[in-house]
């Protein structure tokens, strides 16, 4: 059943993944800022300059695994039929992830850029419990048990059948799933679990391996900071380490040094407790990690080159001042996001995450934390001495948040992560017609598939590309490797879809 609601703009791609609240909050808002920037640019420079796509609503079962449960919710979707060649044309389904999905999902970037060549119908499907696809009843634990990747995949399968009828799509039309980040995993898993419904998938920056301790994240960030191709250098990495060492020294000194630090870095917590200090250090890690994760993306306040330039700048005496550079980076990010604080107290974070009233304008922090606690983990740590950041926050701090907010023990989280990998296959999912696309400076590529799993499960690793960059709208400044990567995606679709088009022509 379709129903109408008010049209709203939302982000284009997907929010970054991160488990702990302080860095999660900052990085997710960075992702939201970048995506909204790209959407506004893609839909036109002035209001009304672009033709907005159609918005619709599907009535979906709240619990698709229990036929006796009659409760339902409305799931939002977007449709761009500007290039649709007719009912026999392919359908490109852009799956939403852990955030709001707006009209840009079908109007800018992939798969919209590929639609004209194929005469494809483009549909964007918002993930349950995010954006405006919120079931009635709030976000308490009784409701959140219906939030999982398995529920989302069942929604996609149900939408595939319902929208085929509503939009008069031919039964012979191939459906191709697209998604980035967590939704990239969903795209791959949709083909894995429903190969009779989805013909192929393009999974961008898809972390298909769940992991409790994601220390590899900072390993990649550290390497990216030394990557000359994106503006890094060994000196830059050393400057980051020096800046964090200075922050920790000031935290240990206490007194006036800690008060000054709180003001200079925008910490709204008092920094008196170890938990509050960990929140600040986690947020600072997110500032640096975000520069690598979103490097060279339109709307990103910092990239690796800019960050390194700031950290390596010298003071008036000609002396390197990494801490001053880190302060400047924090100011840039806060100003870009319109935030007063870089971090909050741990108590304030927990209180916010315990709130069960949906925040339509928010980015789904409570919902995503629940999914990390019950499915994925993804808790970024820095406990290796080679890590250039502070050793805090440590893994126990992440896991403690699951217990404080949801009452879930560390052992239950570890068990959930293991079950996710067992159910989907981790980094060796036995899916065919799935193209995995990653960038080598994206910290998440180490949890994805970067080498072909077989002739029908190819992989593409783009040098110098960041998180989901292949899905972003094309820009004149795009690197040759990114342009080649997008061309490779198009060629792979040609190899898969070409024969189906020929067969339709013979019918």
| CATH number of domain containing 156 | 3.40.50.1820
The token duo for 147 is 């939030």
Residue 118 lies in a domain: yes
Residue 7 lies in a domain: no
Mapped onto helix, strand or coil, the DSSP state of residue 189 is helix
Residue 163 lies in a domain: yes
Q: Based on the domain organization, do 189 and 241 belong to the same domain? A: no
Q: Which domain holds residue 301?
A: 212-419
Residue 236 lies in a domain: yes
- What pLDDT is attached to residue 48? 47
Total domains in the chain come to 2
Q: Based on the domain organization, do 96 and 165 belong to the same domain? A: yes
Residue 1 lies in a domain: no
| 444 close to 427: Cβ distance less than 8 angstroms | no
- Boundary-marking domain end, from 391, 419, 447: 419
Mean pLDDT of 475-479: 91
Cite the active site residues: 181, 442, 467
Residue 11 lies in a domain: no
Q: Based on the domain organization, do 267 and 347 belong to the same domain? A: yes
* pLDDT mean across residues, the chain: 88
Residue 481 lies in a domain: yes
Mean pLDDT of 458-479: 94
- Boundary-marking domain end, from 419, 451, 476: 419
The token duo for 268 is 């709204």
Cβ neighbours of residue 479 under 8 Å, at least 6 residues apart?
296, 464, 465
- What pLDDT is attached to residue 345? 86
Mapped onto helix, strand or coil, the DSSP state of residue 379 is strand
**How many whole angstroms from its chain centre is CA 96?**
10
pLDDT tens per residue, range 266-325:
888 788 888 888 889 989 999 999 999 999 998 899 999 999 999 999 877 766 689 999
Rg (alpha carbons) of the chain, rounded to whole number: 22
Residue 14 has pLDDT above 80, yes or no: no
| 200 close to 191: Cβ distance less than 8 angstroms | yes
- Boundary-marking domain end, from 397, 419, 441: 419
* Contacts of the segment 499-502: beta carbons below 8 A, 24+ positions apart: 500/90, 500/172, 500/174, 500/199
What Cα–Cα distance (Å) separates residue 11 from each residue in 148, 287, 359, 363, 488?
21, 20, 16, 10, 26
- What pLDDT is attached to residue 169? 94
Q: What pTM value is reported for the model?
A: 0.92
Q: Based on the domain organization, do 469 and 364 belong to the same domain? A: no
Q: Based on the domain organization, do 164 and 269 belong to the same domain? A: no
Mean pLDDT of 52-60: 93
Residue 7 has pLDDT above 50, yes or no: no
How far is residue 90's CA from residue 77's CA, in Å, rounded to a whole number?
17
Taking Cα atoms as reference points, which of 232, 114, 223 lies closest to residue 176?
114
Q: Based on the domain organization, do 112 and 188 belong to the same domain? A: yes
Helices (H), 226-321: 234-253, 255-265, 274-293, 304-311
- What pLDDT is attached to residue 45? 39
Element (H, E) at 396: helix 395-406
Q: Based on the domain organization, do 224 and 202 belong to the same domain? A: no
Strand partners, 76: 57
- What pLDDT is attached to residue 501? 63
How far is residue 482's CA from residue 297's CA, in Å, rounded to a whole number?
12
Q: Based on the domain organization, do 201 and 292 belong to the same domain? A: no
| 497 close to 176: Cβ distance less than 8 angstroms | yes
DSSP state of 12: S
pLDDT tens per residue, range 182-204:
999 999 999 999 999 999 999 99
Residue 32 lies in a domain: no
Taking Cα atoms as reference points, which of 339, 353, 366, 341 lies closest to residue 269?
341
Residue 454 has pLDDT above 60, yes or no: yes
Q: Based on the domain organization, do 369 and 286 belong to the same domain? A: yes
Q: Based on the domain organization, do 120 and 235 belong to the same domain? A: no
Q: Based on the domain organization, do 441 and 344 belong to the same domain? A: no
Q: Based on the domain organization, do 196 and 155 belong to the same domain? A: yes
């Amino acid at each position: 059943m379709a129903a109408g609601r008010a049209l709203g703009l939302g982000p284009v791609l997907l929010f970054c993944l991160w488990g702990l609240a302080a860095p999660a909050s900052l990085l997710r808002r960075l992702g939201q800022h970048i995506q909204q920037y790209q959407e506004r640019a893609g839909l036109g420079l002035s209001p009304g300059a672009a033709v907005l796509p159609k918005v619709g609503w599907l009535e979906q079962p709240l619990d698709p695994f229990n036929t006796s449960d009659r409760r339902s919710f409305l799931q939002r979707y977007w449709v761009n039929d500007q290039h649709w060649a007719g009912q026999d044309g392919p359908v490109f389904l852009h799956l939403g992830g852990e955030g709001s999905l707006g009209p840009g999902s079908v109007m800018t970037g992939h798969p919209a850029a590929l639609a004209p060549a194929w005469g494809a119908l483009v549909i964007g499907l918002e993930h349950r419990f995010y954006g405006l696809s919120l079931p009635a009843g709030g976000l308490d634990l009784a409701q959140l048990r219906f939030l999982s990747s398995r529920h989302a995949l069942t929604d996609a399968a149900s939408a595939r059948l319902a929208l085929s009828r509503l939009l008069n799509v031919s039964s012979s039309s191939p459906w191709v799933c697209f998604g980035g980040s967590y939704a990239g995993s969903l795209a791959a898993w949709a083909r894995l679990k429903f190969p009779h419904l989805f013909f192929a998938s393009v999974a961008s920056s898809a972390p298909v391996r769940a992991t409790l301790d994601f220390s590899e994240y900072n390993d990649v960030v550290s390497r990216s900071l030394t990557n000359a191709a994106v503006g890094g250098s060994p000196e830059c990495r050393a400057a980051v380490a020096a800046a964090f060492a200075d922050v920790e020294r000031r935290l240990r000194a206490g007194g006036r040094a800690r008060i000054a630090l709180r003001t200079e870095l925008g910490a709204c917590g008092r920094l008196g407790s170890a938990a509050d200090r960990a929140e600040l250090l986690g947020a600072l890690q997110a500032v640096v990690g975000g520069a690598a994760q979103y490097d060279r993306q339109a709307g990103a306040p910092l990239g690796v080159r800019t960050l390194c330039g700031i950290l390596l700048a010298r003071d008036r005496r000609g002396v390197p001042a990494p801490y001053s550079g880190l302060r400047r980076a924090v100011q840039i990010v806060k100003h870009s996001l319109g935030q007063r604080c870089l971090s909050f107290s741990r108590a304030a974070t927990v209180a916010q995450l315990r709130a069960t009233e949906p925040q339509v304008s928010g980015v789904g922090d409570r919902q995503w934390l629940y999914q990390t606690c019950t499915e994925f983990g993804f808790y970024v740590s820095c406990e290796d001495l080679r890590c250039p950041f502070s050793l805090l926050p440590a893994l126990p701090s992440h896991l403690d948040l699951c217990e404080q907010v949801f009452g879930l023990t560390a052992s239950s989280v570890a068990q959930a992560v293991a079950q996710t990998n067992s159910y989907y296959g981790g980094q060796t999912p036995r899916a065919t017609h799935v193209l995995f696309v990653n960038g080598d400076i994206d910290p998440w590529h180490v949890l994805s598939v970067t080498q072909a799993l077989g002739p029908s499960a190819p992989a593409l690793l783009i040098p110098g590309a960041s998180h989901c960059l292949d899905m972003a709208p094309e820009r004149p400044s795009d690197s040759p490797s990114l342009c080649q990567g997008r061309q490779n995606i198009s060629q792979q679709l040609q190899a898969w879809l070409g024969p189906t088009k020929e067969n339709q022509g013979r019918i």
